[in-house]
Amino acid sequence: MLLSSSLAKYYIVALITVTPPTMPEQGWIQLLHPFEDRASCKKDLEANEYLYFVNLMQTLKNVILRVEMMDCMSGSNIEELNKELGHNMPKRLGV
């Protein structure tokens, strides 16, 4: 289930497949830069998707097998999807 809010910040995220057997095979990771709305996030992703892909592959080269897809989501969307994939999500401050 995807949650959304007009006040939510959006992030470029990637669904990745990883090698370590001690965690679920797939998970969503978010890039650090927030966007005020999904439209501006999508515009940046369309312009820079290849650069983000290369950066992820270089940064996580010892862990990552594949980048399955990239999109724009709010933090709560990412958290909910990772829970569905079997990740134990730490409690967020103020929640």
**Would residue 63 count as lying in a domain?**
yes
- Looking at the whole model, is its pTM more than 0.85? no
Q: Give the pLDDT score at 90.
A: 67
**Would residue 61 count as lying in a domain?**
yes
Q: Which domain holds residue 76?
A: 10-84
**Would residue 38 count as lying in a domain?**
yes
**Would residue 90 count as lying in a domain?**
no
* Number of structural domains found in the chain: 1
**Would residue 64 count as lying in a domain?**
yes
Yes or no: say if 16 and 24 are a contact pair by the CB < 8 Å rule: no
**Would residue 21 count as lying in a domain?**
yes
**Would residue 92 count as lying in a domain?**
no
Classify burial at 74, counting beta carbons within 10 Å of its beta carbon; exposed 0-12, middle 13-18, buried 19 or more. buried
Q: Give the pLDDT score at 56.
A: 93
**Would residue 91 count as lying in a domain?**
no
Average pLDDT per block of 10 residues along the chain, 95 residues long: 60 89 83 94 97 93 91 90 83 50
